[in-house]
Amino acid sequence: AQSVTQPDIHITVSEGASLELRCNYSYGATPYLFWYVQSPGQGLQLLLKYFSGDTLVQGIKGFEAEFKRSQSSFNLRKPSVHWSDAAEYFCAVGENYGGSQGNLIFGKGTKLSVKP
Amino acid sequence: DAGVTQSPTHLIKTRGQQVTLRCSPKSGHDTVSWYQQALGQGPQFIFQYYEEEERQRGNFPDRFSGHQFPNYSSELNVNALLLGDSALYLCASSQRLPLSLIFGSGTQLSVL
């Protein structure tokens, strides 16, 4: 069965430091991969997505992610974290359902705290 | 563009009651999906509607039902509420192609 693992429940980084959030997935075929961010009490905002092609994907707010098939990973990175990046981050894998998008399977999330 | 709008934002119900949550998709989107997010968890897929029919369903009991209207808006109905139904309910819309979900801000349901 498809699954997504985010090994880190909570990460704290200093403002200006680099960030890497880990995501591992289990999926039989080539997955559709996503990273979403959620601020407290809010919905999910799409940061970036990978469907095919270049394995390094650029997203909004200066985030990027790299798809590594050999490691079944899709880690999210940012070179310099801002205090406004404090939020919860969710990795998700999407099913290819008859050529269109099926449901998303989410990890449990990683909460990011930013120290001044 | 208003994006995905959900109503109400908050709701308090008691066990055994029934609840209806509403969602208007982003302009140009024709597919609506519903997710349940319990506290401290990632969202879990409930079901997806396209062309006014349920196309996919997650592992949720029949107490959870939905509807999609000709204007693509959607409702989620939950009958015989349980304490465990307390969660943030998220609606997401998309086009069949390309493939990305846009989420609303959710409805926070509390069951007492």
Whose tokens are 């509607």? That residue is B49
Q: Which helix (H) or strand (E) holds A46?
A: strand A44-50
Percent of chain B with pLDDT over 90: 85
Residues of B in contact with A42 (CB under 8 A): 105-106
Q: Which residues of B touch A103 (CB under 8 A)?
A: 33, 45, 48, 56, 58
**Residue B54's pLDDT band (boundaries 50, 70, 90)?**
very high
pLDDT value for A43: 86
String of DSSP letters for A9-30 = SEEEEETTS-EEE--EEE-SSP
**Contacts of B82-86 spanning 24+ positions with Cβ under 8 A:** B82/B15, B82/B111, B83/B15, B83/B111, B83/B112, B84/B111, B85/B109, B85/B111, B86/B38, B86/B110, B86/B111
**CA–CA gap between residue B90 and residue A50 (Å, rounded):** 22
Q: CA distances (Å), B51 to each of B4, B30, B68, B69, B71, in order?
A: 18, 7, 8, 8, 10
Per-residue pLDDT of chain A (116 residues; tens, 9 = 90+): 788 999 999 999 999 999 999 999 988 777 889 999 999 878 899 999 998 888 999 999 999 999 999 999 999 999 999 999 999 999 999 876 554 556 889 999 999 999 99
Closest listed residue to residue B38, CA positions, set B80, B7, B84: B84
Q: Quick one: pLDDT at residue B101?
A: 87
Nearest to A101 among B41, B94, B103 (CB): B94
| Minimal-distance CA residue of chain B relative to A95 | B99
From the list A4, A46, A103, the residue facing B102 with the nearest CB is: A46
Cβ pair A107:B96 closer than 8 A: no
Using CB atoms within 10 Å of the CB of residue B84, give its burial: 0 to 12 exposed, 13 to 18 middle, 19+ buried. exposed
pLDDT in tens, B60-90: 999 999 999 999 999 999 999 999 999 999 9
Across the interface, of B31, B41, B100, the residue whose CB is closest to A49 is: B100
Q: CA dist B98 to A27, A91, A102, B41, Å?
A: 20, 19, 12, 27
